[in-house]
Copies of this chain bind each other. A is one copy, B any other.
């Protein structure tokens, strides 16, 4: 492991331990349902971004922001619980989704509890009062944006061929970018960052999050299932409006023929066709553009360990295969 990987692993441990401490002995079905996905693992990247953004605007430990880091992870988990209901997904992180293991009403409520806990924990951050108010405002606005992004994503199903690259990028910015933006922005706000620093880190997170979402689409297609833990080629099969599908359509490719059960050979044939037409290369180029934008924002900040790690992190976002 390189330094960043070690840092991420240590941060994930810290976050996991804190989450277990607070939620590990859930009493009653509502809390069991609430902690189910929260404690089912995950890379804990948003908490890491909170800490690293804080360490970019001030030196020293960010232990005082642990509850804010947990708040961002809880927000992420609440959106997963509700999205899984809306999308009708049966598994996530290798475990049954909340509405599958319990039922739809319990899953709505479990998500709502995590939503509340996110705001509660954010107010427990050890920081100036004014900074905490600003952080709450930012998280609240972000939650609205995530809902808008999820709603856009749902409308894409009906819009079909009318969805263009800019629609996709707007959706990715809201659905995934906004929470990374808020993670970085809130880390900076709570650490006492000034408006320029907060904005630079917010923009970093926004672009990094968009790149992350694009990479998620590529992983669904390219990564072996045993590595990604996902159902390979599921986006193709479902005819989802990913950036891959949109760019393919722009280049005259017809992916409708893959909207059926796909063997590994079928997926390989689809990949070959997409590579031949330069689709994968173009999608990677767009992701790299977002990575470059994210790194450019970091250039506004003085050098620090936090900044270096954030710089590496966004590279990792588009190199990871799970």
Show the binding face of A for B, using Cβ within 8 Å: 28-30, 82, 85-86, 104-106, 108-109, 112-113, 115-117, 119-120, 122-124, 128-130, 132-133, 136-137, 139-144, 147-148, 150-151, 154-155
16 contacts between A and B (CB under 8 A): A28-B151, A29-B155, A30-B147, A30-B148, A82-B112, A85-B108, A86-B105, A105-B154, A106-B151, A108-B108, A113-B143, A113-B147, A119-B140, A120-B137, A123-B140, A136-B136
The secondary-structure label for the interface of chain A is: helix
**A30-B148, A148-B30 known; A120 vs B108 contact (CB < 8 Å):** no
**Smallest beta-carbon distance A145→chain B, Å:** 9
**Smallest beta-carbon distance A185→chain B, Å:** 15
**A113-B144, A147-B113, A151-B29 known; A136 vs B108 contact (CB < 8 Å):** no
Bound together, the chains give a CA A274 to CA B118 distance in angstroms of 45
Bound together, the chains give a CA A119 to CA B138 distance in angstroms of 10
Contacting residues, chain B, for A147 (C-beta < 8 A) = 30, 109, 112-113, 116
Contacting residues, chain B, for A119 (C-beta < 8 A) = 119, 136, 139-140, 143
Of the candidates B108, B115, B143, B150, the one whose C-beta lies within 8 Å of that of A143 is B115
**A106-B151, A133-B129 known; A141 vs B120 contact (CB < 8 Å):** yes
**Smallest beta-carbon distance A129→chain B, Å:** 4
Of the candidates B82, B133, B141, the one whose C-beta lies within 8 Å of that of A108 is B82
Contacting residues, chain B, for A136 (C-beta < 8 A) = 119, 122-123, 132-133, 136
Which 3 A-B pairs rank lowest in CB-CB distance, beginning with the nearest? A116-B143, A120-B140, A129-B129
**Smallest beta-carbon distance A162→chain B, Å:** 16
**Closest residue of B by beta carbon distance from A75:** B116
**Closest residue of B by beta carbon distance from A150:** B109
Contacting residues, chain B, for A154 (C-beta < 8 A) = 105-106
Bound together, the chains give a CA A142 to CA B108 distance in angstroms of 17
**Closest residue of B by beta carbon distance from A30:** B151
Contacting residues, chain B, for A29 (C-beta < 8 A) = 151, 155
**Smallest beta-carbon distance A48→chain B, Å:** 24
**Closest residue of B by beta carbon distance from A137:** B123
**Closest residue of B by beta carbon distance from A79:** B112
**Closest residue of B by beta carbon distance from A118:** B140
**Smallest beta-carbon distance A121→chain B, Å:** 8
Of the candidates B116, B123, B132, the one whose C-beta lies within 8 Å of that of A144 is B116
Bound together, the chains give a CA A20 to CA B123 distance in angstroms of 30
B129 and A117 within 8 A (CB): no
Contacting residues, chain B, for A133 (C-beta < 8 A) = 123, 129, 132-133, 136
**Closest residue of B by beta carbon distance from A127:** B133
